[in-house]
Amino acid sequence: QVQLVESGGGVVQPGRSLRLSCAASGFTFSSYGVHWVRQAPGKGLEWVAVISHDGSNWYYADSVEGRFTISRDNPKNTLYLQMNSLRAEDTAVYYCAKDGDWGSRMDVWGQGTTVTVSS
Amino acid sequence: DVVMTQSPLSLPVTLGQPASISCRSSQSLVHSDGNTYLNWFQQRPGQSPRRLIYKVSNRDSGVPDRFSGSGSGTDFTLKISRVEAEDVGVYYCMQGTHWPPLTFGGGTKVEIK
């Protein structure tokens, strides 16, 4: 079945870096765009970034532009999020979500990985 | 950026009764390709979000038919015809027409009275 599994979360000090991964299975990974979406404790959903199916296009939320980098390795069926210069406000559960067919967004989500930025 | 406004914030419902959630966008969500990219997601307590509805009214596979989506332009609604205990959670609308960024509503918490 279609599955996305995030990993790489943890506790990190402000200003440091962390790299998240999202392992995909059960579908042709290279055919779909993929997103990172985060949810701060007790808050709603915030879109973070998206990358196109072939990795040639990507877009970011203003809140992470210049600090986060989204990338993918299609032969490894894996999505990444490199997070630099982390701030307390980046503390959240980070989800990856794949696009669906016919331009529909975020049809399948992972279980999430927790990032805590604290000194 | 397109602002998505949901109401109510909290929705206490009696089991077996209907429920309705409103989502309004700050501008029309009709894309130049003719589609309207408005999704609904359900997030049960302690779980990751799950898509229920895409492009306003298309139910995802496995979603019970008691869930339905409707609306057009800037005004959208998610309806649950008869609320069941498993429907408890937070519901989010999201627009994918004018991006980046893709934007979510603030969420509506459905609980049982």
Distance, in Å, from the CA atom of B104 to the CA atom of A44, rounded to the nearest integer, reads 8
Kindly report, residue by residue over A26-85, the tens digit of the pLDDT: 999 999 999 999 999 999 999 999 999 999 999 999 999 999 999 999 999 999 999 999
Half-sphere exposure of A75 (CA within 13 A, CB side): 0
Please give the pLDDT value at position A102.
81
- Provide the residue type at A62 as one letter: D
- Residues from B contacting A (CB-CB < 8 Å) are 33, 35, 37, 39, 41, 43, 48-51, 54-55, 58, 60, 90, 92, 94, 96, 99-107
Please give the pLDDT value at position A103.
80
Which of A45, A60, A111 is facing B104, going by the closest CB pair? A45
Please give the pLDDT value at position B102.
97
Q: For residue B98, report the phi and psi dihedrals to the nearest 5 degrees.
A: -110, 100
Mutate to test the interface with B, among A102, A106, A113 (most CBs of B within 10 A): A106
Q: Is B102–A35 a contact, with Cβ atoms under 8 angstroms apart? A: yes
